[in-house]
Amino acid sequence: MSIPENVKGAVDFDPWLTPFAQVLSERRNLADKWVHDLTHATPDGSYQSLVKFTRDSYLSYGFHADARTKEIRYKEWAPNARQAFLIGDFNGWNETSHELKHKDEFGNFSITVPPTSAGDFAIPHDSKIKVMFVLPDGSKIYRIPAWIKRATQPDKETAKLFGPIYEGRFWNPPKPYEFKNKRPSFNEKADSLRIYEAHIGISSPEPKIASYKEFTRDVLPRIKHLGYDAIQLMAIMEHAYYASFGYQVTNFFAISSRFGTPEDLKELVDTAHGMGILVLLDVVHSHASKNVEDGLNNFDGSDHQYFHSLASGRGEHPLWDSRLFNYGSFEVQRFLLSNLAFYIDVYQFDGFRFDGVTSMLYVHHGAGEHGGFSGDYNEYLSRDRSYVDEQALAYLMLANDLVDELLPKSAITIAEDVSGYPTLCLPRSMGGAGFNYRLAMALPDMWIKILKEQKDEDWDMSKIVHTLTNRRHGEKVVAYCESHDQALVGDKTLAFWLMDAAMYTDMTVLKPGTPVIDRGIALHKLIRLLTHSLGGEAYLNFEGNEFGHPEWLDFPNKNNGDSYHYARRQFNLVDDKLLRYRHLYEFDAGMQHCERQHQWLNTPQAYVSLKNESDKVIAFERNGLLFIFNFHPTQSFTDYRIGVEVAGTYKIVLNTDRKEYGGFERVDENSRFHTTDLAWNNRKNFVQVYIPSRVALVCALE
């Protein structure tokens, strides 16, 4: 069978793709055609890069103030509108004084607002602004401009009169923030990626909405101390409903005003860069809020401007109560791709975690009877176009192309995909979709299922190892035990599954540890280290979980009386030296710094030499390091024989049983393990170690 040249790299890499080569080729051809169309979309038909196309777009649409002439340009795409008028505080909300030029053949309206007679900008900085459209039937609608860079909640009096509709603002600060620090370098082939997933608003022990400035001052130093080299920021794109966790976006180019100003966020990113920390944006291009007056829904009076029409049956998400983008539309591609370029250029983000990729990839969105994926290639690569949304897949390919162009030496893109779509994380040049990583979403489900349903003595070492290592060869994953999903109300964090109510009474060091607390702290460390070292090529932790945050996460809503009690992270528990939370916190720091020094992430998969079901011991080697885990609830082992490939003397570089990690100091870290030249468990040599119950050791050649 002849393999199309444009996917030959992927098929050579994975020969099982051979029967589907033509389908893969057609899907790549669609994306490549779109790249050609977008990059040749100039009046004279000449070539422009994706970067130039997207930058020209976000510098053309929306509001732009000329510091020299004091003119303000505004451009909007609204093909269904008959007329458009700019209204706001600046003109007393006069509905006729500032009409936009009649739309062009593509549906674009524009206006240039001249300076005042005093030579100042006619629209004051941070003043309220809207666009009014007159529809073909003569009716009027009022909208926040689609490319607005700031939208704010109304004050209480305005909300009483008009409801809690967000208000557009003209953002033109007299002294824009100037970045001081360079982006940290990141080499996807060589560098590790340890991600701290965070939500600005909950990043305070106080029951309130925390700010960008507070995060910069209070949380960034903690992340630096812990040893993470990347932050993944959630809920940054403006969303009218706080309890949506940022996943019902209303204004795609505006950052959440609850947390502060655009300049505050720039300072946060810049400060993180100065600490050597990359900053990733949790970007939501999988769907959009159904809000009309402060969102994109029915923006120009039609239901199909940015989205699939409702009549098509594809315009609404069946579970999320949101609108779905029409990725095949040229203007939607412009809008979303420019959105990515905007965040990289203006806010200096270093990459993206793409939300809802599984929902995007499939016409069925992974819902209903199609919600489970067996791994059969026909589920992903069938010619049945009612299954895979090839336009959404092509958009994701373009998005990865763009990020690679914008950040040629340090691009990071992560797909939130549970389906296991083949080639998703292979380079575009090989015929893949181009993501650097996908989230290993089966791992937290495994751990919760085990903790929920099984006693310690019934844990199956082989099944645990299989789940942790069961990933597509050559396609990198981000391993994690729990993310924000497991912290939400209705679920439990691992710490809560392990220790439950005892966390409220028995975490003090002023009395001996109880069996529940001792077990919980020990297993919390082992689960994290095993996932970190065996489960992927990158690692992620959700803020607070590193120290076993005792409570779930619940945003203020009508069901809890609009309380912020659970919409916070109690970092104060770590700072209290009389509580055991600091032990888990310091272990997490020890684990991250050990990986930084010795590096096991982003290296070839481990060789697992031992999965002993009766002893509950797992042993493996990765990147020259030896990992030994004893999950047995009571049994410690002396002179336990562990196979190892490379001969030499091994020393302990990480020990979960340290006192400062909440352990019992049963391991002498001055011990050295000398190999014996005798094959054991398919390894050329062995060492003999003392491995206490519920303890893990990481050893390196001396």
Domain with residue 565: its CATH number is: 3.20.20.80
Over the stretch 614-627, which tens digit does the pLDDT of each residue have? 999 999 999 999 99
In a domain, residue 59? The reply is yes
Cα–Cα distance measured from residue 287 to residue 297, given in angstroms and rounded to the nearest whole number? 11
Stretch (H or E) spanning 269: helix 262-274
Stretch (H or E) spanning 341: helix 330-346
Across the chain, mean pLDDT equals: 95
Cα–Cα distance measured from residue 104 to residue 680, given in angstroms and rounded to the nearest whole number? 76
634 with 515, same domain? Answer: no
Site of tokens 């209903």: 368
SS3 content of the chain, % helix, strand, coil (to 5): 35, 20, 45
For residues 664-684, give the mean pLDDT. Answer: 97
332 with 450, same domain? Answer: yes
Residue 486: pLDDT band (50, 70, 90) is confident
661 with 553, same domain? Answer: no
CATH of the domain at 672: 2.60.40.1180
Task: Based on the residue annotation, tell me whether 416 is a catalytic residue of this protein.
Answer: yes
662 with 514, same domain? Answer: no
Q: What type of residue is 18? A: T
Q: Which of 270, 282, 355, 554 is catalytic?
A: 355
Q: What is the DSSP letter of 546?
A: G
pLDDT at residue 83 greater than cutoff 90: yes
Q: Whole domain around residue 437: which residue ranges?
A: 194-598
In a domain, residue 259? The reply is yes
561 with 471, same domain? Answer: yes
In a domain, residue 372? The reply is yes
In a domain, residue 22? The reply is no
pTM of the predicted model, to two decimals? 0.97
106 with 235, same domain? Answer: no
For residues 413-424, give the mean pLDDT. Answer: 96
**The pLDDT value given to residue 487:** 72
For residues 89-114, give the mean pLDDT. Answer: 95
Q: Which of 416, 475, 518, 537 is catalytic?
A: 416
Q: What is the DSSP letter of 305?
A: S
From residue 474, alpha-carbon distances to 27, 318, 384, 607 in Å are 20, 34, 27, 16
**The pLDDT value given to residue 672:** 97
pLDDT at residue 371 greater than cutoff 90: no
Residue 283: pLDDT band (50, 70, 90) is very high
Per cent of the chain over pLDDT 90 is 90
Residue 290: pLDDT band (50, 70, 90) is very high
State the pairing for strand pair 230-234/278-283: parallel
pLDDT at residue 515 greater than cutoff 90: yes
- Of the candidates 318, 514, 395, 559, the one whose C-alpha atom is nearest the C-alpha of residue 33 is 395
143 with 199, same domain? Answer: no
In a domain, residue 7? The reply is no
199 with 245, same domain? Answer: yes
Q: Tell me which of 152, 168, 184 is where a domain ends.
A: 168
In a domain, residue 39? The reply is no
582 with 638, same domain? Answer: no
> How would you class 403 by CB atoms within 10 Å of its CB: exposed for 0-12, middle for 13-18, buried for 19 or more?
buried
Q: What type of residue is 498? A: L
Q: Tell me which of 553, 581, 598 is where a domain ends.
A: 598
**The pLDDT value given to residue 484:** 84
594 with 613, same domain? Answer: no
Stretch (H or E) spanning 156: helix 156-162
In a domain, residue 416? The reply is yes
230 with 332, same domain? Answer: yes
Residue 679: pLDDT band (50, 70, 90) is very high
State the pairing for strand pair 194-199/230-234: parallel
- Of the candidates 38, 51, 6, 40, the one whose C-alpha atom is nearest the C-alpha of residue 427 is 6
**The pLDDT value given to residue 485:** 80
CATH of the domain at 163: 2.60.40.10
Over the stretch 626-661, which tens digit does the pLDDT of each residue have? 999 999 999 999 999 999 999 999 999 999 999 999
Site of tokens 């505004």: 74
Over the stretch 573-604, which tens digit does the pLDDT of each residue have? 999 999 999 999 999 999 999 999 999 999 99
Q: Tell me which of 598, 625, 646 is where a domain ends.
A: 598
Task: Based on the residue annotation, tell me whether 76 is a catalytic residue of this protein.
Answer: no
Over the stretch 19-63, which tens digit does the pLDDT of each residue have? 999 999 999 999 999 999 999 877 777 789 999 999 999 999 999
Cα–Cα distance measured from residue 325 to residue 286, given in angstroms and rounded to the nearest whole number? 7
Residue 489: pLDDT band (50, 70, 90) is low
In a domain, residue 223? The reply is yes
Residue 383: pLDDT band (50, 70, 90) is confident
**Cα angle value 333/310/285 (rounded, 5°):** 30
- Of the candidates 257, 341, 266, 284, the one whose C-alpha atom is nearest the C-alpha of residue 58 is 341
Over the stretch 69-79, which tens digit does the pLDDT of each residue have? 999 999 999 99
154 with 66, same domain? Answer: yes
For residues 328-333, give the mean pLDDT. Answer: 97
Over the stretch 225-270, which tens digit does the pLDDT of each residue have? 999 999 999 999 999 999 998 999 999 999 999 999 999 999 999 9
Residue 528: pLDDT band (50, 70, 90) is very high
**Three-state secondary-structure class, residue 690:** strand
**The pLDDT value given to residue 172:** 98
Number of domains in the chain: 3
